[in-house]
Amino acid sequence: MTRLVVICGATATGKSSLGLALATRLGSVVLSADSRQVYREFDIGTAKPTVAEQELVPHYLIDICDPTDTMTVADYQEQAQAFIASIPISPMLLVGGTGLYIRSIVQGMKIPRVPPHKELRSQLESLGQTQLYAMLQQVDPAAAQKIHPHDPVRTLRALEVYYVTGIPISEQQGENPPNYPILQIGLDCDSERLGDRIHKRTEQMIANGLVAEVDFLCQKYGADLTLLNTLGYQEIRQYLTGEISLEQAKELIVLHTRQFAKRQRTWFRAYPQIEWFNADDPDLLENVWRRVQEFTGI
């Protein structure tokens, strides 16, 4: 029977290294659950597994999309479910910090297959969030009850699905959990230690060539590429255009990453199925390994 081990948690908690170590012991594979590692050429700033790491353990669901394309949660779910169904390896590991990607697999989210419509979105956005939320309350009150009045992303998506399909998004959503066992492992540490980890990783990314990577991507795709507005890339792009110094860019990356990590921790803490481990525990690997052995019966 297929079994899935999930390694999740905030950025910089060591998910990738733990997943790599476990996959090596298990003779297994890693499925990435990172919304930016799916894009080719975005490597250093997304902490994508290195070539050596990918040679050591097969990694899937990375480098599967061009930077000019859009990978939706539904697209990711479809590809991930296909891999899990087709790879005769058990257990396999799902590793990453993108909560919706993980939830789409472990809870079997039903996701409306409605691609983004730029023209419709532009028209809706011009109305402002207050009016958009009022519209949502009229056409899909059930969805409005679950969406905060000041959440423009989910409000816009709910309206987009409604106006494209004519069916409220609340009627198209739900869950169809998989029938195989899942063990969810979460990594966490206190805020101060996480801040230290984020600072060190930012310095390492700069040392590994993040500035050159961003410069190359700006030259190839244009500085207005959506992905270049994301964490780590936006700040270095500002440095390259002379808006800020490199030191300021690093400080902003650390600040914005800490803010992002805080949101991730809040997201994952809402799911009681996750079993938490201290990322700074020197016996982390052995403790998690024992739990995986219990889960798999190895």
How far is C-alpha 16 from the geometric centre of its chain's CA atoms?
Answer: 13
pLDDT of residue 116: 80
12 assigned ligand-binding residue: yes
Annotated binding-site residue? 15: yes
Q: Is 220 annotated as a binding residue?
A: no
14 among annotated binding-site residues: yes
Is 99 marked as binding a ligand?
Answer: no
pLDDT at 204: 97
Cβ 46 vs Cβ 201: under 8 Å: no
Task: Assign domain 118-172 to its CATH architecture.
Answer: Orthogonal Bundle (1.10)
Lowest model confidence (mean pLDDT) among 91-95, 114-118, 199-203, 209-213: 114-118
The answer to which of 93-97, 121-125, 274-278 has the lowest mean pLDDT is 121-125
In this prediction, residue 113 carries a pLDDT of 77
126 is in an annotated binding site: no
Q: What does the pLDDT average to over 48-77?
A: 95
Q: Is the pTM of this model over 0.75?
A: yes
> Is 10 annotated as contributing to ligand binding?
yes
Residue 16, annotated as binding a ligand:
yes
> 207-222, pLDDT tens digit by residue?
999 999 999 999 999 9
Domain positions in the chain:
4-110+176-296, 118-172
CATH architecture of 4-110+176-296: 3-Layer(aba) Sandwich (3.40)
Sequence length of the chain is: 298
Query: Quick check: do 4-110+176-296 and 118-172 share a fold?
Result: no
